[in-house]
């Protein structure tokens, strides 16, 4: 079976099973918004001439996090992106992993529809179980900071946005400055203006400036 055939069949199976759990589909992700959170199941299928495999994962973030990020980066432009872009677009890097299925990583070299259907059924069932556990612990998006703390995400972009949402601009500014000074990790850089006015600014530069302006307003 050719790669394109496999891809189409796999996509149809994901869509069909995902619908039973109220997921929508966009490219390689299936997603839904529940209780103020964006949940995303990534089941990208990788294959070559000898084998095919996937490492499915479930990610989450409060919806407010995307909205706040967009407001900081594009203060004069209302966000009109489809919700799917929260999972496979410019906002997807804000997702935090809840769960990853590490086995079985490799499927049979020959793609088998029945095998793939069963694997996908198991994945969605496991994902729903993880979502239920997550919502029992963090039923309100305002509790997302506790999730980050419990999972060692103290200096991440998500943590900084949580602090801003809480109105803690001073700490958010400090973490942003530390991230800029250290140069740690990959960050998104945006190009602003044209010609002589053209600038490249890191997302953390935007955030630091935003926090500093909020601090100045309160003085």
CA torsion, ordered 103, 109, 113, 118, to nearest 10 deg = -10
At residue 123, does pLDDT exceed 70? yes
Model confidence over 71-111: pLDDT tens digits?
999 888 888 889 999 998 889 999 999 998 765 555 556 77
- Global pTM reads 0.89
Model confidence over 151-172: pLDDT tens digits?
887 668 999 999 999 999 999 9
- Residues with Cβ within 8 Å of residue 166, at least 6 apart in sequence: 142, 145
**Cis before residue 104, ω within 30 degrees of 0?**
yes
At residue 67, does pLDDT exceed 80? yes
For residue 79, what pLDDT is reported? Answer: 85
Predicted confidence band at 213 (pLDDT cuts at 50, 70, 90)? very high
Cα distances (angstroms) measured from residue 43 to each of 100, 103, 114, 121, 194: 10, 13, 17, 12, 39
Asked if 91 and 70 touch (Cβ cutoff 8 Å), the reply is yes
At residue 56, does pLDDT exceed 90? no
Model confidence over 183-208: pLDDT tens digits?
765 578 887 777 777 778 899 999 99
Tokens matching residue 137: 């612990």
- Nearest CA to 87 among 144, 40, 141, 55? 40
Between CA 157 and CA 2 the distance in angstroms is 40
């Amino acid at each position: 079976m050719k790669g394109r055939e496999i891809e189409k069949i796999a996509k149809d199976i994901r869509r069909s099973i995902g619908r039973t759990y109220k997921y929508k589909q966009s490219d390689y992700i299936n997603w839904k918004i529940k209780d103020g959170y964006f949940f995303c199941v990534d089941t990208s299928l990788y294959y070559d001439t000898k084998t095919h495999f996937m490492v499915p994962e479930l990610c989450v973030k409060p919806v407010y996090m995307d909205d706040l990020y967009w407001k900081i980066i594009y203060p004069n432009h209302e966000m009109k992106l489809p919700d799917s872009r929260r999972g496979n677009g410019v906002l997807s890097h804000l997702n935090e992993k809840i769960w990853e299925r590490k086995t079985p990583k490799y499927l049979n070299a020959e793609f088998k529809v029945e095998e793939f259907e069963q694997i996908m059924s198991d994945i969605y069932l496991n994902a729903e179980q993880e979502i239920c556990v997550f919502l029992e612990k963090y039923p309100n998006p305002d509790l997302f900071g506790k999730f980050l703390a419990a999972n060692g995400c103290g200096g991440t972009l998500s943590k900084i946005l949580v602090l801003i949402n809480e109105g803690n601009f001073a700490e958010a500014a400090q973490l942003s400055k530390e991230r800029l000074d250290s140069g740690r990790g990959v960050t998104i850089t945006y190009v602003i203006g044209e010609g002589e006015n053209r600038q490249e600014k890191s997302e953390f530069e935007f955030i630091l400036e935003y926090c500093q302006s909020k601090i100045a307003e309160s003085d």
